[in-house]
Chain A
Amino acid sequence: MNFPTILGLWIAATLTIAIFSFLYKDNPLYKFAEHLYVGVSAAYWVIFAAKFTMEQQLINEFSANWHLYLDTGSRAAFWEAWILVIPTILGFMMLTRWFGPKVGWISRWPIAFTIGLGTGLAITGSIQGVQLPQVQATFVPFWGPDLWVVVGNILLFTGVISSIIYFYFSKPHKGFLGGVSRVGIIFIMVSFGAAFGYTVMSRVSLLIGRLYFLVYEWIGGTIEFIKAL
């Protein structure tokens, strides 16, 4: 274990304990860690945007095509390079929001462009990717190699239909509709229960991860470091 790692371990452990201290009550240590988190993560976004969008997708892309044009005289490469001016301008138009509503309205153009593309993609994606295959997979035969498959298939079909009816029929749930949506509620309750169970699992895992870090990486690592001295 080297010095940068052991120093890192101690900083990480201090920050971990600082956040856990919130469980006792809100305190300056927790607030310190919380504010540090906000600052550090904001810087991450900036670095990633600068590296992966500005540098790689704009500057490097431009220079690669420009050099190709200079080397080969390819018209296509020339245009490939210069057409990047459009997304660059649109990008900076987006940032006019920084300067308040007086100039900020300019950002509506690039936003409209992204919203338009996003909604168009959402339409085809939802229909082709979710609705058609999901509906198709609901129409399963009420017959199978064993009883469990048959029961499962019947329940699956009933559950999908009844929960759709429960959620999306705005008519009052009375009579037949009421009966079906009552069945729907049963399925939905089981599903919420399952989701709750899985959420418990998730949250507990996060705690295990942090306690594991404290016990094995921090304390264990420190002991190892001292032994090596």
Chain B
Amino acid sequence: MKFVKWLTSVDRRIIFLLVILVVLVPMLITISIPFEVGEPAQNAFNAMDSLPPGSVVMFSVDYDATSYPECHPMIVAMTHHAFKKDLKIILVANIATGLPLGQEALERGAAEHGKEYGVDYVNLGYRPGMVAIMVGMGREIRDFYAQDYANANVDSLPVMQNVHNYDDIALLVSFAHGMQVETWIAYAGARFGQQIIGGVTGVVAPDLYPYLQSGQLVGLLGGLKGASEYESLINRKGLASRGMPAQSAAHILIILLIVIGSISEFIINAHSRRKK
């Protein structure tokens, strides 16, 4: 009984320490365990993979550093996939503080695949007013993005030559940590028939399953696992795959914490009842 009471009153800093250890130790050992890819991630991959070379995809940076470990590996992996398939990328952003992250992923990917700015990809920068932009781009992108992030006229960039609205964009991917994918679906998807993929944090992923079932969302990457699934599909291990052992260990720890916490409460309650 004493032990159980001690268990329930343990200093939370001990739990914090446990969490650090459980994340840190598996991170130091680089083991990679093969796993099955879930259907939503497979569908996302297939949608991108089946596009003919030269197709235009739009990446929307709807996350920032608060969800860097989940969303950033996704945009990195998808950039590599798109460039490998010779697709053209248009980068936009609905989260100001996230734009530089998307830009970095694109610039590094372009350098690796020998892609040229303005010809193979473009960074249109950030615009406030999410819904207004999403609806307005259904008519003409230039009404909102007349210039790229560095004031170059978009008409002077070959990649934008025949791109005017969603009709010219084969696939839209929103890397998001909030409502943005749902908003894309409600406006660009429902009103203009745009094909959409979501690359989102674990917190957001459950919100999007109804849209997967209704077919409004083509594919979905959810959290670090989703990112690592995409990495394994394109055969390029990155931050997400390397984080998965630590992620697994932390899940086990939290499950154990729930079980121990619950059971010790059962024991204490039953004990006090018997005393009465």
Residues of A within 8 A of B (CB): 23-24, 41, 44-45, 48-49, 51-53, 55-57, 60-61, 64, 117-118, 121-122, 124-126, 128-130, 133-134, 136-137, 156, 191, 194-195, 198-202, 204-212, 215
Closest 7 CB pairs of A and B: A129-B186, A209-B69, A137-B214, A202-B202, A129-B190, A201-B202, A198-B202
Q: Which of B128, B147, B223 contacts A198 (CB 8 A)?
A: B223
With A52-B128, A121-B135 already in contact, the answer to whether A211 and B24 are too (CB < 8 A) is yes
CB pair A212–B151 under 8 Å, yes or no, is no
Residues of A within 8 A of B224 (CB): 201, 204-205, 208
Interface secondary structure of A, over-half rule: helix
- Distance in angstroms between the alpha carbons of A52 and B225 in the assembled complex: 34
Residues of A within 8 A of B202 (CB): 198-202, 205
Listed by A's residue number, 6 A-B pairs whose Cβ atoms lie within 8 Å are A118-B131, A125-B186, A198-B222, A204-B254, A206-B67, A209-B239
Q: Which of A41, A48, A60, A117 contacts B132 (CB 8 A)?
A: A117
CB pair A191–B27 under 8 Å, yes or no, is no
CB pair B186–A130 under 8 Å, yes or no, is yes
Nearest CB in chain A: distance from B41 CB, A: 14
- Distance in angstroms between the alpha carbons of A44 and B93 in the assembled complex: 14
Residues of B within 8 A of A125 (CB): 131, 183, 186-187, 190-191
**CB of B125 within 8 A of chain A?**
yes
**CB of B243 within 8 A of chain A?**
yes
- Distance in angstroms between the alpha carbons of A55 and B205 in the assembled complex: 36
Residues of B within 8 A of A (CB): 13, 16, 19-20, 23-24, 27-28, 66-70, 96-97, 99, 125-128, 131-132, 135, 144, 146-147, 151, 153, 182-183, 185-187, 189-191, 201-203, 205-206, 210, 213-216, 222-225, 239, 242-243, 246-247, 250-251, 254
CB pair B185–A56 under 8 Å, yes or no, is no
- Distance in angstroms between the alpha carbons of A75 and B127 in the assembled complex: 28
Interface centre among A53, A136, A198, A210 (most CB of B within 10 A): A198
Nearest CB in chain A: distance from B38 CB, A: 13
- Distance in angstroms between the alpha carbons of A95 and B149 in the assembled complex: 25
Q: Which of B125, B153, B223 contacts A201 (CB 8 A)?
A: B223
With A64-B146, A212-B243 already in contact, the answer to whether A206 and B69 are too (CB < 8 A) is yes
CB pair B23–A128 under 8 Å, yes or no, is no
The residue of chain B having its C-beta at the shortest distance from the C-beta of A53 within the complex is: B128
- Distance in angstroms between the alpha carbons of A48 and B100 in the assembled complex: 11
CB pair A204–B23 under 8 Å, yes or no, is yes
With A61-B146, A201-B225, A208-B224 already in contact, the answer to whether A215 and B24 are too (CB < 8 A) is yes
CB pair B223–A202 under 8 Å, yes or no, is yes
Residues of B within 8 A of A209 (CB): 68-69, 239, 243
Q: Which of B19, B126, B201, B250 contacts A48 (CB 8 A)?
A: B126
The residue of chain A having its C-beta at the shortest distance from the C-beta of B185 within the complex is: A129
CB pair B96–A44 under 8 Å, yes or no, is yes
CB pair B190–A56 under 8 Å, yes or no, is no
Q: Which of A57, A134, A194 contacts B206 (CB 8 A)?
A: A194
CB pair A198–B203 under 8 Å, yes or no, is yes
Nearest CB in chain B: distance from A47 CB, A: 9
Q: A56-B151, A212-B27, A212-B239 are in contact. List 6 more A-B contacts (CB 8 A).
A: A121-B187, A129-B191, A137-B214, A137-B215, A205-B202, A205-B243
Residues of A within 8 A of B20 (CB): 211
CB pair B214–A136 under 8 Å, yes or no, is yes
Q: Which of A23, A205, A211 contacts B223 (CB 8 A)?
A: A205
- Distance in angstroms between the alpha carbons of A197 and B239 in the assembled complex: 21
Nearest CB in chain B: distance from A49 CB, A: 7
- Distance in angstroms between the alpha carbons of A45 and B186 in the assembled complex: 27
CB pair A201–B247 under 8 Å, yes or no, is yes
- Distance in angstroms between the alpha carbons of A122 and B190 in the assembled complex: 13
- Distance in angstroms between the alpha carbons of A209 and B201 in the assembled complex: 13
CB pair B151–A24 under 8 Å, yes or no, is no
Interface centre among A64, A126, A200 (most CB of B within 10 A): A200
